[in-house]
Structure 1
C-alpha cells in the first residue's frame, strides 16, 4: 500500500510539473510574440512577411481582417523558421512526398503547389486590370501570366499528387480581360521546351533560358524584331544556388542550381536608376548577390518599388513593366527594343500608376507575373483607381 501511495504521489508531482512546464512554455511564447519586433523579410523563403493589418471598416465589412490577421500571426510567430524546419524534417523522415506546400518531385525537382483562387478575388483582379485599361486607352497593353512548374513540369510530380489545372485559370482570366489588352500565351513555348533547363529545381523561379523563350513570344505579340540566341554570350555566374523551395521544403538530398546570364555580344550602354533608393548603376546585374543565399537577386538586385532603365537606343517606344520577381531575369532581353524601361513592383510601390505613365510618356505596358504569385497576392488591385 505504501508503495502504491508513493507511486501515486510521484505521478501527481510528475503530471503537475509537466502541466506547469507546458503552461510556462505557452505563456513565454505569447509574451515573446508580443515583445519581439516584427520581421519584414524572410531570407529563408525570400519573401516579405505579412505586417499587422489595420482594423478598418473595409476589412471588417468584407471579412478580410481575420484572414489577414491569421496570415500575420503565422508569418511573425516566434522562432518560425525553427518550427518550419522541425516539421519539414519529421515529415520527410516519415516518407511524405509533400511538405509545406512543396511537392518532392521526380528527378529531385521541388514543385510549389498551386492554390485555386477564390471567385471574388479572381473577379476583383479582372476588374482592376480592365479599369486600368479604360484609364489608359492610348498605350499598348500586354499581359503575361507565366505558368509555374506544377503545370509545365507536371510529369515531375509525385504519383497521384493532386494538382489544380493552372492553365485553365490563366485562360479563364485572359478571357475576362478587355480586348484592347493583348494576352501572351507562354505555356506552349515552355511546354515545347520542358526537357530543357527552364525552371530551377530548388527555386520557384524560371531560369534565364525559360525567360528567353517567353521573350520570343512577347516579340511575336508586340511586333518587336527578336534577338536570336546567337546575339548573346551565355555566362554561368553560379552553380551553387539553393532557392526558396529548398528552404521551404526542408530537404537536403538535392543538387544545387546553376544561374546563367545572357549578355549581348555587342556592349549596350545603359543607366539603371533605383529611384526610391537613390542609387544608380551601369549594369542590370548585382554580382554581390552571388555571395548571398538569395542568388536570384543578381537580376536587377532583387525587387524594388521603382526602377528606371535608360538604354540609349534610338527609339520612341517607352515601356512600363508591372511585375513580380519573374520579370527580373526577363527585363534584360528588352533593353535593345525600348529607349526607356520603367519597372514597378506594386507590392512596394504605392503611388498612382496613371500619373507614372504620363510623367514618363509611356507607350507600352507589360504586366508580367508568375501565376502562383498573381493569384495569391492582392497588390495588382493597386494598378488602377479601383476601390
Structure 2
C-alpha cells in the first residue's frame, strides 16, 4: 500500500468520526425512543459529587450511546450481522422460526427468597394465597427456537415452586401442561413481545377457575376487537426491524359494566372501562389493558353480587387476565410491587377484607424481583 493510500484511509476515517461527532451535537435529541419504548438518558448533572463518584462518567456514556446518530440503523445492522456469523441471540433476543423473537433464558437470582416472602405474607394476613407463575416463552415455544440456544430451566424452577407450595400450604397453578397441550392450535405468546396473548391469558383463567372451583366466563360472552401493527418489547430490544408485527385482541364482555380506578402518586382516577383504546394509537399498544403499569388498580363489577374480593400481586401479565377475573369477583385489586413501596399486608390488606390473593407474574420476573420485601 502506498503512502498516499495510507493517508487517504486515515483522512477518510477521521472525517467519518468528525462528521458523526458534529452531528451528535447538532442533531436535535429526543427524550423518548418509540422503537425501544423507553426514555433516553438525559445529559448528566455536572458536580463535584458526580465527577468523583463515577456517576457522571457512567451516565455520560449512556447519554452518548442513547443519542448516537442513526442509532436504530446501527442496531439493525449489528443484529442482522450477528445472524450472518451464526451469533443469534447475542443481544439477548433469539430470532426464531415463524416470526418469533424470544428472550434468552433468565437466571435464578431470588426464587427461594421470593417464595418465602409469599409464604410469610399468607401467614401474616391469613388470606388464602395462590401462585400462578407464567412459564417463559422459550420453554413453551421450544419448537421455534434456533438450533443452538441456551437451555430454559423452567422444569427445574417449577419443581422448586411446586415443592415449596406443597410444603407451605400455598396453592399453585402450574400452567406448563395446559400451554404445551394448546400451543399448536393457539398463539399463547406474542411473537414480538414477552407477554402472553389474550388467548393465553384466557387459557390460564380457565385453569385458575378450575383450581378455585368457580365457573369461568365462556368465550361466547366476549366481543373480540383486534388491533394490528403491534411491535412489543422483544422487538424493541432486538434490532430485528424487518420482523412482522403482531395483532392484539381485546376480549370485551359488553354486559360487564366494570369500572377501573387507578391510583398513582397519591391520586385516584376512576374510568368507566378496563380497556383504554386510545393507547392503541401510541407507542405502547399493550397499555390498552388497564392503562399500563400503575401502583394500584382496582376493578369493580356492580353486577357481580357475590361481594368477593381478589387481590393480585402482579406484573404486566395480569393486565389482560384481570378483566376475565372481574366476571367472578365483585372487586379485583392489582398491586405492582415495582411501583408500590409500602407494606401490602399493613396498608392494603388491613383495610380491605380479601377472599383470595393471587401472585401472577412471568417466571423471569419472579426469579429476579427485588421488591417482594414490601409485600409484608
Same fold per superposition (TM over 0.5): yes
Measure, in 2, the Cα distance between the counterparts of 1:380 and 1:50.
27
Q: Tell me how far apart the structure 1 counterparts of residues 196 and 158 of structure 2 sit (CA, whole Å).
A: 17
- Kept in 1, the 8 Å contact 2:192–2:231? The answer is yes
Query: Which residue number in structure 1 is paired with residue 368 of structure 2?
Result: 376
**Is 1:197 matched with 2:187?**
yes
Specify the alignment match of 1:57 in structure 2. Answer: none
Provide the residue aligned with 1:187 in structure 2: 176
In 2: Cα distance, 1:72 partner to 1:360 partner: 46
- Could you give the per-residue CA deviations for residues 250-285 of structure 1, whole angstroms, max 9, x where no partner exists? 1133322111121225x1222211122532211111
Stretches of 4+ aligned residues off by more than 4 angstroms? 10-23, 46-51, 69-77, 80-86
Kindly indicate whether the alpha-carbon contact (under 8 Å) linking 1:236 and 1:258 is maintained by their aligned counterparts in 2.
no
How many Å separate the matches in 1 of 2:8 and 2:231?
48
1:142-197: per-residue Cα shift (whole Å, max 9, x none)?
11100121011101101132222223212213322453320111111111110111
Secondary structure at the counterpart of residue 350 of structure 2: helix
User: CA, structure 1 residues 12+42, in 2 after alignment: closer, same or farther (shift >3 Å)?
Assistant: closer
Aligned residues: 352
TM-score in terms of structure 1 length: 0.79
The equivalent residue for 2:328 is 337
CA apart distance, 1:95: 4.9
Alignment partner of 1:300 out of 290, 293, 299: 290
Shift of 1:97: 2.8
Alpha-carbon distance in 1 for matches of 2:370, 2:63: 17
User: Partner of 2:259 in structure 1?
Assistant: 271
- Other structure's SS at 2:333 match: strand
Partners of 2:208 and 2:77 in 1: CA distance = 43
Q: Give me the whole-angstrom Cα distance separating, in 1, the residues matched to 2:34 and 2:358.
A: 28
Partner Cα distance (1:372, 1:49) in 2: 24
Contact 2:114 / 2:366 at 8 angstroms: preserved in 1? Answer: no
Matched, 1:288 2:270: no
Counterpart selection for 1:102 from 65, 88, 93: 93
- Residue 228, structure 1, aligned to residue 228, structure 2: no
Is the CA contact 2:133–2:361 (under 8 Å) kept in the aligned structure 1?
yes
C-alpha distance in 2 between matches for 1:78 and 1:279: 34
Q: CA deviation at 1:288?
A: 0.8
1:70 offset after TM fit, Å? 8.3
Counterparts of residues 125-204 of structure 1 (less than 5 Å): 125-137=114-126, 139-177=127-165, 179-195=168-184, 196-204=186-194
> For the structure 1 residues 362 and 290, does the alpha-carbon distance in structure 2 shift closer, same or farther, using more than 3 Å as the test?
same
Asked if 2 retains the 8 angstrom alpha-carbon contact of 1:200 and 1:206, the reply is yes
Q: Measure how far apart 1:134 and its partner are.
A: 1.8
Change (3 A) 1:333 1:142: same
- Partner Cα separation in structure 1 for residue 38 and residue 327 of structure 2: 30
| Structure 2: segments with no counterpart, 5+ residues | 43-52
CA contact (8 A) 2:93 2:103 kept: yes
Taking structure 1 as reference, are residues 299 and 334 closer, same or farther at Cα in structure 2, changes over 3 Å only? same
Aligned-residue Cα RMSD (Å) equals 3.5
**Residues 1:320 and 1:74: Cα distance change in structure 2 (over 3 Å):** farther
- 311, 325, 330: which is aligned to 2:316? 325
Match of 2:343 among 352, 358, 366: 352
Task: Quote the Cα distance in structure 2 between the aligned partners of 1:249 and 1:19.
Answer: 30
Cα distance in 1, alignment partners of residues 211 and 159 from structure 2: 16
Is contact 2:40–2:66 with CA below 8 Å preserved after alignment? no
Taking the aligned partners of 1:135 and 1:109, their CA distance within structure 2 comes to 42
Q: What displacement does 1:109 show? A: 1.1
**Residue 340 of structure 1: CA displacement?**
1.0
What runs of 5+ residues in structure 1 fail to find an aligned partner?
52-64
